[in-house]
Amino acid sequence: MEIVMRTQTLVRADQLADMAKNQFPGGSDEYRAARIALLAEEIEFRRHMTRLAEQRRALPAGPVIDKDYRFQDANGADVGLIDLFGDKATLVTYFWMYGPQRERPCPMCTNWLGSVNGNAPDIAQRASLKILGRSSVERQLAFAQERGWGNLDFVQTVSDDYAADLGLLNADGTESPALVVFKRNGNNVRLFWSSAMTLEMADPDQDPRDAPDIASLWSILDLTPEGRGTDWYPKLEYAL
């Protein structure tokens, strides 16, 4: 299938960057030149992210999900994958690392869900959002209450078929996370997109992650002089 992307003539990034104004007086010529050069790269990066999003949206129809995966929702009802769509045509799922073997959830999953909780009402205007876990719904909701999450919809994966088929089960009985987007067409459910950057694809001295990075934590820290750091990682609690 040939994908035709929308194209148009854009002003060169370096020309746009030259339009930037000095926000504070007293900066050196060296800083100004370096900041303008960086701004040009940031404009190019923004354009590349736009092209990535367009290419993602133009993906051809993915495989039909024929297997009858079962889930238990917050009401205790046994539901199928298609039921998780509600009245939406798109279903966004996040399978988080909080299985029965874990005493506490993964700190990074927790960090990400904390930011998603604030955006969930807005996301719900465009797509159904479900958080999938191997632990019981009651256990997931208890942790959500502890964190003050009131906007996330948790469901339990009944059996480990879903996690196993996606390759998310680890040898030690724990699980790996996965962000998966499904599309409904009538009574058919198809895969639209799923995170696919594995540990083996990570660059040296970096955590495995998708691009663009969906975690607001890292996006903010990337703006700082210290960056993400190499001797620090999110925790569930911090000493006051």
Domains of the chain: 11-58 (no CATH), 61-240 (3.40.30.10)
- Percent of the chain exceeding pLDDT 70 equals 97
Q: What angle do CA 61, 127, 134 make, to 5 degrees?
A: 90
Query: pLDDT at residue 234 above 50?
Result: yes
**CA 229 to the chain's CA centroid:** 21
Instruction: Name which of 210, 193, 197 is nearest 60 in CA terms.
Output: 193
Beta-strand pair 128-133/78-80 = unpaired
Give the phi and the psi of residue 37 in degrees, each rounded to 5. Answer: -65, -40
pLDDT of residue 213: 79
Cis amide bond preceding 212, omega within 30: yes
Confidence of residue 150 (pLDDT cuts 50, 70, 90): very high
Confidence of residue 7 (pLDDT cuts 50, 70, 90): low
Distances (CA, A) of 226 to 108, 214, 233: 19, 20, 14
Instruction: Name which of 39, 5, 7 is nearest 22 in CA terms.
Output: 39
Average confidence score pLDDT of the chain: 92
The two tokens of residue 216 are: 């607001």
Confidence of residue 78 (pLDDT cuts 50, 70, 90): very high
Range of lowest pLDDT (18-27, 59-68, 121-130): 18-27
Per-residue pLDDT averaged across 21-32, rounded? Answer: 89
pLDDT of residue 3: 47
Query: Which residues are CB-neighbours of 119 under 8 A, at least 6 positions away?
Result: none
Place of tokens 């078929």: 161
pLDDT of residue 2: 46
pLDDT of residue 148: 98
- Contact 120/96 with Cβ under 8 angstroms? no
pLDDT of residue 28: 93
pLDDT of residue 15: 95
Query: pLDDT at residue 16 above 90?
Result: yes
pLDDT of residue 214: 84
Distances (CA, A) of 175 to 102, 134, 142, 164, 181: 10, 9, 20, 9, 19
Confidence of residue 6 (pLDDT cuts 50, 70, 90): low
Separation between Cα atoms, residue 196 and residue 210, nearest integer Å: 8
